[in-house]
Amino acid sequence: MKEVRCISCKRKLAEADYIRLEIKCPRCGKMNILKAVEPPILEISQWNRSITTRQIPSFRGSEESADSPTG
């Protein structure tokens, strides 16, 4: 998280990860409009690493012709 301070009086307003932030300083009344210069860093959680994949059965080829009724 990044510390957000008022542009005018330097009062600490928040600690946040943001792309765009608009916040009014309660001390001096200045409207602070901030935009991220770089994209936020994404943290990969442990459960994302353990995702398993399964193979979807194919319905093409000889299996399809063997199972289809002839009529």
Q: What span, in angstroms and rounded, lies between the C-alpha atoms of 25 and 66?
A: 73
Which residues make beta-bridge pairs with 5? 12
- Give the pLDDT of the chain (71 residues) as one tens digit per residue: 889 999 999 999 999 888 899 999 999 999 999 998 766 565 555 555 555 555 666 555 544 445 555 55
What per-residue confidence (pLDDT) applies to 15? 93
Say what the pTM is: 0.51
